[in-house]
Amino acid sequence: MRNFWMSLFFFCAAIPVLTAAEGGFSMEAVPVEKVIHGSDPLKIKLSSSCPDGYSARAWRLVAYVPNLPADFIAVTGAKVTPSTLREWDTVFIMNWEWTIPTDGILVKSTDQYPSGDYKMSLYIHFSGKTPDGEKLPDKMISQDVLFTLKKGDRRDTQ
């Protein structure tokens, strides 16, 4: 058990991930639709703020396996990154997307996803420079995004 806590401490210390509002960085991420039908994409409305010199540069979605439908891995073929504790097994839903749309709507396809309830973590990467051009430390913040996916004809799922 001691090894677990030591590993967790070093993991947390090595990754500068902040909560959804800390140190002048904040974000709000809300699914445009809480219930997604058929193969409609997941759309997330993102608003964020950051200190002067910084800007939001990239986004990605990550999920812990217990927060996905039971058949998600089998249906999608997603790769699981295992952990010593099964509840922390992770699926990287997507690699970093290095463009944040100007309208703030982030879009992710759900074409191969099974029906069910989802809880994913949206990570936003901030980078910046001082007025004299010196690079500032990169920052990441995250927020959970919850939605339900219902496959089939809309009339059958309402």
Q: Kindly list the distances between the CA atom of residue 88 and the CA atoms of 72, 78, 94, 115, 121, in Å, as whole numbers in the listed order.
A: 16, 15, 17, 22, 13
Domains and CATH numbers, the chain: 17-157 (2.60.40)
SS3 88: helix
Q: In what helix (H) or strand (E) does residue 106 lie, and over which residues does it extend?
A: strand 105-108
pLDDT on residue 154: 56
User: Which residues touch 105 (CB under 8 Å, ≥6 apart)?
Assistant: 32, 43, 44, 45, 46
Q: Kindly list the distances between the CA atom of residue 146 and the CA atoms of 93, 104, 115, 136, in Å, as whole numbers in the listed order.
A: 14, 18, 13, 32
* Residue 33's pLDDT band (cuts 50, 70, 90): very high
User: Which residues touch 39 (CB under 8 Å, ≥6 apart)?
Assistant: 109, 110, 111, 151
How far is residue 36's CA from residue 110's CA, in Å, rounded to a whole number? 9
- Is pLDDT at 74 greater than 80 in this prediction? yes
pLDDT tens digits along 4-31: 444 444 344 434 444 455 689 999 999 9
* Residue 138's pLDDT band (cuts 50, 70, 90): very high
Average predicted confidence (pLDDT) for the chain:
87
pLDDT on residue 153: 58
For 141, the token pair is 């913040």
pLDDT on residue 23: 80
pLDDT on residue 51: 95
How far is residue 31's CA from residue 76's CA, in Å, rounded to a whole number? 21
pLDDT on residue 3: 54
User: Which residues touch 66 (CB under 8 Å, ≥6 apart)?
Assistant: 86, 87, 89
- Is pLDDT at 158 greater than 70 in this prediction? no
**Which is more confident, 15 or 87?**
87
pLDDT on residue 137: 97
* Residue 1's pLDDT band (cuts 50, 70, 90): low
